[in-house]
């Protein structure tokens, strides 16, 4: 009996360790010794069962890998048989760069898991993400929400998602968002004051942290009508940024084995660990408090109406169009996802302007020329910014060279299969495009894809049109990021202020930008000294 127990314990130890090649030999030795210590009849039977089970698993993996019509698709050898390769790459936080190298090696189709493929083909955008397609989101997205409760980000149901989006989409149109410019102006003034403080002391400024503080306060004003206070504090408030990072880390990894999400999610909740549940509940408490306040009477026509106010007014006029759950869902989405894209993109522009001074000089010349001609004032409007072609090119190039997201936007091939990049993919296969891969396609963007060259967006109209068609930073089609216009609005207004009024001197000017991919590709350890400069007029 004790021999049976030892065998069970050794097998359980090996299972709990998981795939750890350093321990694998020792685990196999222990299990073998446990088997051979059993009575002879039991030993033979147990050994046979172990070999049979191993052979069955291996046979199934081989059959699935070799029987698929996509057996010719290339990629890492281990990815043909297991999702563990993908888990390892995502866990290390560098998947986007690995993904780019794999496409350079293997071409437009790369296998990244037994039934999952990364695609690099401009023609595939409309097939996979177009409105006429029936490609649903992959199971990876399931880990980004409460188990069994679809949200606007992870909903697999195309019709339900479209209906929910129609309820709130008008509020995210640029026509409506420009009415919120005063909120951005307020936060920009506070950011300017904080940078002036740093300039007076020559202190090093953690750029990613301060751009996220700025973006969080802006989205707070836009959504709730008041700032969270990140710019005032200059640090995380109530651990909300850390919790958001932990949630992204969890979702990006667990999504690879999404069937584990219901178990791990509720385990985290029972253990009262800070994570997705804590984050959502925290935001819901804030939003509930705000919704409990009466909306402004609207008599002051110049006062901007935040998202909650707009939604409440819509509900008062037509209760059937939008309900409290719709308002709550939109507010939670704004706050939980509304800061990272802008923060990452602003940091990308600052970093690359420091690395490419010729682009910085040309942008300053354009802005100072506009000031001399009286085309822009102290608080540049979005309308004015749209008329500055090099500014818009700088923003777009910052978004191309460092997209905010760094994993494939996975979709499931619908019934009947689909031909993508000249290959027939059976229904049920997961395919997707990574914005980092798309933005480094040399046939589309040129051989200098690693260079920050805003001029590529000012070249021949047909060439630029082709590039814009393969610009995947905000996704594509009906599921394009709803907050896209918020990010573009903020960047168009704050970048001129930063470029005209400050010099940024990196602490380590020759170092590449350190990043961690937790779905959002966040910059790390990028610090600058900030110096005030006089604006030429």
* 14 phi and psi angles, rounded to 5 deg: -65, -40
Contact 327, 311 (CB under 8 A): yes
Alpha-helix runs per DSSP H in 439-483: 442-445, 461-469
Alpha-helix runs per DSSP H in 225-356: 230-233, 240-254, 261-270, 276-291, 307-317, 324-337, 340-355
Contact 301, 193 (CB under 8 A): no
5 is in an annotated binding site: no
Contact 95, 406 (CB under 8 A): yes
Q: Which residues contact 526 (CB under 8 A, 6 or more apart)?
A: 206, 207, 208, 347, 351, 506, 513, 514
Please tell me the distance from the alpha carbon of residue 506 to that of residue 206, in angstroms, as a whole number.
Answer: 10
Task: Please report, in angstroms and rounded to a whole number, the separation of the first and last CA atoms in the chain.
Answer: 90
Please say whether the dihedral angle defined by the alpha carbons of residues 184, 190, 193 and 195, taken in this order, is positive or negative: negative
> Nearest CA to 272 among 237, 241, 236, 243?
243
> Which residue spans within 120-270 are E strands per DSSP?
136-137, 204-206
For the record, the structure tokens of 411 come out as 């979709």
Give the residue carrying structure tokens 């408090």: 289
Q: Which residues contact 165 (CB under 8 A, 6 or more apart)?
A: 152, 478, 482
- Specify binding-site residues: 481
- Specify binding-site residues for heme: 481
């Amino acid at each position: 009996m004790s021999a049976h127990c030892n065998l069970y314990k050794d097998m359980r130890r090996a299972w709990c360790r998981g795939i750890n090649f350093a321990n694998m030999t020792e685990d196999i030795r222990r299990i073998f010794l446990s088997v051979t210590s059993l009575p002879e009849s039991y030993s033979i039977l147990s050994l046979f069962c172990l070999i049979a089970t191993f052979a069955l698993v291996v046979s199934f993996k081989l059959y699935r890998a070799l029987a698929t019509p996509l057996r010719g698709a290339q990629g890492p050898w281990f990815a043909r048989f297991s999702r563990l390769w993908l888990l390892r790459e995502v866990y290390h936080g560098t998947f986007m760069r690995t993904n780019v190298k794999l496409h350079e090696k293997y071409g437009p189709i790369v296998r990244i898991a037994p039934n999952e493929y990364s695609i690099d083909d401009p023609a595939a955008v409309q097939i996979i993400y177009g409105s006429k397609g029936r490609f649903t989101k992959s199971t990876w997205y399931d880990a980004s929400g409460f188990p069994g409760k679809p949200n606007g980000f992870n909903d697999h149901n195309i019709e339900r998602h479209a209906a929910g989006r129609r309820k709130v989409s008008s509020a995210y149109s640029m026509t409506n968002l420009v009415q919120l410019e005063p909120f951005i102006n307020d936060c920009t003034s506070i950011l300017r004051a904080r940078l002036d403080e740093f300039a007076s002391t020559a202190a090093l400024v953690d750029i990613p942290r301060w751009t996220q503080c700025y973006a969080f306060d802006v989205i707070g004003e836009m959504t709730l009508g008041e700032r969270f206070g990140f710019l005032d504090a200059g640090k995380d408030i109530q651990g909300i940024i850390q919790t958001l990072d932990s949630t992204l880390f969890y979702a990006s990894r667990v999504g690879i084995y999404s069937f584990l999400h219901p178990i791990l999610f509720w385990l985290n909740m029972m253990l009262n660990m800070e994570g997705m549940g804590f984050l959502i509940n925290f935001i819901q408490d804030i939003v509930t408090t705000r919704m409990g306040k009466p909306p402004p009477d609207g008599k002051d026509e110049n006062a901007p109406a935040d998202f909650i106010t707009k939604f409440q007014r819509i509900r008062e006029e037509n209760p059937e169009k939008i309900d409290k759950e719709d308002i709550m869902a939109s507010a939670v989405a704004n706050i939980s996802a509304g800061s990272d894209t802008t923060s990452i993109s602003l940091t990308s522009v600052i970093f690359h302007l420091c690395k490419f001074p010729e682009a910085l000089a040309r942008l300053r010349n354009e802005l100072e020329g506009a000031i001399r001609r009286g085309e822009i004032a102290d608080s540049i409007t979005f309308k004015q910014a749209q008329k500055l072609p090099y500014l818009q090119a700088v923003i777009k190039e910052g978004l191309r060279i460092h997209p905010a997201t760094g994993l494939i936007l996975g979709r499931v091939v619908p019934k009947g299969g689909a031909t993508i990049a000249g290959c027939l993919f059976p229904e049920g296969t997961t395919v997707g495009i990574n914005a980092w891969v798309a933005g480094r396609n040399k046939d589309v963007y040129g051989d200098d894809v690693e260079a920050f060259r805003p001029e590529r967006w000012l070249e021949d109209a047909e060439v630029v049109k082709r590039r814009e068609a393969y610009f995947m930073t905000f996704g594509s089609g009906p599921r394009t990021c709803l907050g896209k216009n918020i990010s573009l609005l903020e960047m168009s207004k704050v970048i001129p202020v930063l470029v005209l009024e400050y010099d940024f001197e990196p602490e380590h000017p020759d170092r590449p930008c350190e990043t961690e991919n937790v779905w959002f590709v966040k910059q790390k350890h990028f610090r600058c000294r900030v110096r005030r400069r006089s604006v030429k007029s």
